Amino acid sequence: MRERIGTGEAGAALVMVLLILVSLTVLGIAGLATARLDTRIVTSTVGPTTARVRAEEGVAWGESYLRRAVSWDALLDPAGWSLLPNPNPDYQVSVRDDDDLDGDPGRDTNGVVLLRSVGRIGAAGERDGSQVTVEAALRRAGFTTYYPQAGGGAGNTGTGR
């Protein structure tokens, strides 16, 4: 009589172990992908928020700087935005004259200037790099918005138009 050497049941355990290992590997890869996605979500939220905080800090710094200036005319550039000498690399602050109807963008006649602050985090072009721009109008104490009107009348329109 001939004896059977194997019934094929010994290979079933090996197949089960391989299936379990493949399943655990797929679960591990899915977990890593989820963790990477979470990191990207946090990075995409933190970058713009930090850049906005820096831009708002720049507006506060610019307002303080302008409040200490004797004359705003010396800071204005007739060509447009004039960069203020800011020692903080996290933001850049610029100033320009508003449309005060005097025809000279290098001279402030109504006590109102525009302030622009650009807050940055990371370098331009980087995946984590963000830039936010905040603009504000600043009025010098003691000035009112008063414009003579055509026809001899006068009024405070508040817009200069």
Give whole-number Cα distances, 124 to 25, 38, 43, 127, 128, in Å. 38, 23, 15, 9, 9
Task: Express each pLDDT in 113-132 by its tens digit.
Answer: 999 999 988 766 666 678 89
Q: Where are the domains of the chain?
A: 48-155
pTM above 0.85, yes or no: no
Task: Express each pLDDT in 55-88 by its tens digit.
Answer: 999 999 999 999 898 888 889 988 889 999 988 8
CA angle 153, 154, 160 (to 5 degrees): 130
- Phi (first) and psi of residue 96, to 5 degrees: -155, 160
pLDDT at 92: 94
User: Two tokens at 137?
Assistant: 């109008």
- Phi (first) and psi of residue 93, to 5 degrees: -120, 130
- DSSP H helices, the chain, are 10-68
Task: Express each pLDDT in 1-42 by its tens digit.
Answer: 555 555 656 678 888 899 999 999 999 999 898 888 887 777
